[in-house]
Structure 1
Amino acid sequence: MVTVKVVCAKDLISSIEIEGHAGFDDSGKDLVCAGASSISIGALNALDQLFKNDCILEMKENRISIKVKESKEGLEQVLRCIVIQLETMVESYPEYIRIIRKEV
């Protein structure tokens, strides 16, 4: 299962972590993993270009991490867009991807 952890502080996203494998299909044919990976890697590329100094971005085997150093309006919109895209996947594939939210 792909697990997405979204941590918020005062209605602002402070971190997003995406990890795991969906197990929807065999490697190379797994549409859920491909979709989550596309959203995640595209987001990392956008954040790296638009907000390089405002986030700590990490990509490792089966794990992507986004940690906000300084929240800005445009940055928050991009983060919310990532979450909305992943929520859309959860609607179609709830047994293969889940989102956990935490308020701090």
Structure 2
Amino acid sequence: MINVVAFAENGKYTGLKVSGHAGFEEEGKDIVCAAVSVLTLNLANSIEHFCNDEFIVDCSEGFFHLTLQDRSEKSGLLLDSCILGLMDIGEEYSDFININLQEVK
């Protein structure tokens, strides 16, 4: 199971943590893991290339954690888009991905 925690502050996403493996199919053929990996890695790459915002990212096999230090309109839109994509995957493959929202104070 892939576990996603979307962090929000005052109703705006500030980061996300993704861990685990879907187990939808064998390694190399798991479309759920592949989709989640593409969304999360593209998020980090897009923020780095298109925004001047500071962010922290920790990424290893089966783990991704990104926190925006500054949330501009651009980086916020990229993060919102990634979380929307993850939620769409969650609707289609709910047995393989679990998504939770955590309000940060």
TM-score calculated relative to the size of structure 2: 0.92
Residue correspondences, number: 104
Structure 1 residue 52 displacement after superposition = 5.4
**Match of 1:80, as an amino acid?**
D
Pairing 1:25–2:28 present: no
Distance 1:77 1:53 in 2: 12
Gaps of 5+ in 1: none
**Partners of 1:9 and 1:54 in 2: how far apart?**
17
C-alpha change, 1:52 and 1:23, in structure 2 (3 Å) is: farther
> Which residue of 2 is the match for residue 85 of structure 1?
85
Match of 1:64 in 2: 64
Q: Distance in 1 between matches of 2:58 and 2:52?
A: 12
Work out the percentage of aligned pairs sharing the same amino acid: 25
Any conservation in 1 of the 2:54–2:68 contact (CA below 8 Å)?
Answer: yes
Q: Match for 2:97: what amino acid? A: I
Q: Give the corresponding residue for 2:5.
A: 5
Cα deviation, residue 90, structure 1? 0.6
Structure 1 counterpart of 2:84, one-letter code: I
Q: Deviations over 1:1-52 (max 9, x none)?
A: 1111111010121221111100001111111111111111111111121235
Unaligned runs of 5+ in 2: none
Distance 1:18 1:52, change over 3 A: farther
Aligned-residue RMSD, C-alpha = 1.2
Q: Distance in 1 between matches of 2:50 and 2:65?
A: 17
CA distance in 1, matches of 2:76, 2:2: 23
Structure 1 residue runs of 4+, over 3 Å off? none
